[in-house]
């Protein structure tokens, strides 16, 4: 699988294993987590993340 339009951000917290709140481009945003397999080990507060950009 190839991802395009990748943007970087900072993970804030995840209210559940499918949704995350992050700061992307200096703006707090919610995002959907596609693969939740290793969330406990990977998604820690203030960790750098990357996600697909949405054009909405």
> How long is the chain?
56
Summarize the confidence of residues 43-53 as an average pLDDT.
78
Q: Is 10 inside any structural domain?
A: yes
More confident residue, 50 or 8: 8
Could you give the strand order of the β-sheet that contains 6-16, starting from the edge strand earlier in sequence? 27-32, 19-24, 6-16, 48-52
The pTM of the full predicted model, rounded to 2 decimals, is 0.66
| E strand residue ranges, 1-56 | 6-16, 19-24, 27-32, 48-52
Alpha-carbon distance of 12 to 47, in angstroms, equals 8
* Domains in the chain, number: 1
The per-residue pLDDT for 23 is: 92
Q: Is 20 inside any structural domain?
A: yes
Q: Is 44 inside any structural domain?
A: yes
Q: Is 1 inside any structural domain?
A: no
CATH number for position 28? 2.40.50.580
Q: Is 45 inside any structural domain?
A: yes
pLDDT for residue 14 is more than 80: yes
């Amino acid at each position: 699988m190839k991802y395009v339009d990748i943007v970087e951000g900072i993970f804030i917290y995840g209210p559940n294993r499918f949704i995350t709140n992050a700061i992307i481009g200096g703006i707090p945003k919610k995002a959907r987590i596609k693969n939740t397999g290793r969330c406990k080990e990977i998604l820690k507060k203030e960790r750098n993340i990357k996600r697909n950009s949405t054009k909405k």
